[in-house]
Amino acid sequence: MSDDPRVSTAILISGRGSNMASLVAAAAEPGYPARIDLVVSNRPGAPGLARAEAAGIATATVDHKAFPDRESFERALDARLREASIALVVLAGFMRVLTPWFVARWEGRLVNIHPSLLPAFRGTDTHARALAAGVAEHGCSVHLVTADLDAGPVIAQETVPVLPGDTAETLAARVLEREHVLYPRALATLASHIARNRA
């Protein structure tokens, strides 16, 4: 596989892996610059693991509850990624805040999707907060992960209109549809950049 120009990529999940599924589908297309080599969950039995296995992708579980602290969990996670020769790490519904140590280890090669048009509505409950603020547009952002939560450089964004009568749930569903379009496009951009710098 050493002559494969695609960038070896791992996806970190905690749950069903809906964004993971869109990334796996995109990576199966000819010419896509990232290759999904590993899916890791911090929760044993996460439904996304079965979805990845069904797609023929290697999976692993690094259960955060099995470790005494965040650092030891992240060191085990980092070791698993390096063992698989991963070059790019994608967070897709990974429900752990990563420490500055891990973020620094993967600087420029760690990416996340956030359900808002960053820098607006960092953190949680983005859809309810967008509605409360009365914004006309909402959306999602793919960004590089830095030690400052949801504050890394934005790679790409997708917008959706906020409609009359929207609830947090209806808005979330519409944003999620755009996430499934945005994340594969943004991952391709980042993987192509990494491949060019590696050449």
Give the span between the Cα atoms of 26 and 22, in whole angstroms: 6
The pLDDT, as a whole number, for residue 2 is: 57
pTM: 0.94
Half-sphere exposure of 51 (CA within 13 A, CB side): 21
The pLDDT, as a whole number, for residue 1 is: 44
Residues present in the chain in total: 199
Is 48 marked as a binding-site residue? no
Residue from 114, 127, 138, 180 carrying the catalytic annotation: 114
| 63 within 8 A of 35, measured Cβ to Cβ | no
pLDDT by residue for the chain (199 residues), tens digit each?
457 899 999 999 999 999 999 999 999 999 999 999 999 999 999 999 999 999 999 999 999 999 999 999 999 999 999 999 999 999 999 999 999 999 999 999 999 999 999 999 999 999 999 999 999 999 999 999 999 999 999 999 999 999 999 999 999 999 999 999 999 999 999 999 999 988 6
The pLDDT, as a whole number, for residue 123 is: 95
Provide φ and ψ at 171, rounded to 5°: -65, -40
Is 14 marked as a binding-site residue? no
Amino acid letter, 116: S
Whether 64 is catalytic is: no
The pLDDT, as a whole number, for residue 83 is: 98
Residues 6+ away with beta carbon under 8 Å from 58: 37, 38, 39, 52, 84
Give the span between the Cα atoms of 171 and 163, in whole angstroms: 8
Q: Where are the alpha helices (DSSP H) in the chain?
A: 18-27, 47-54, 70-83, 100-105, 126-133, 168-198
The pLDDT, as a whole number, for residue 198 is: 82
Is 17 marked as a binding-site residue? yes
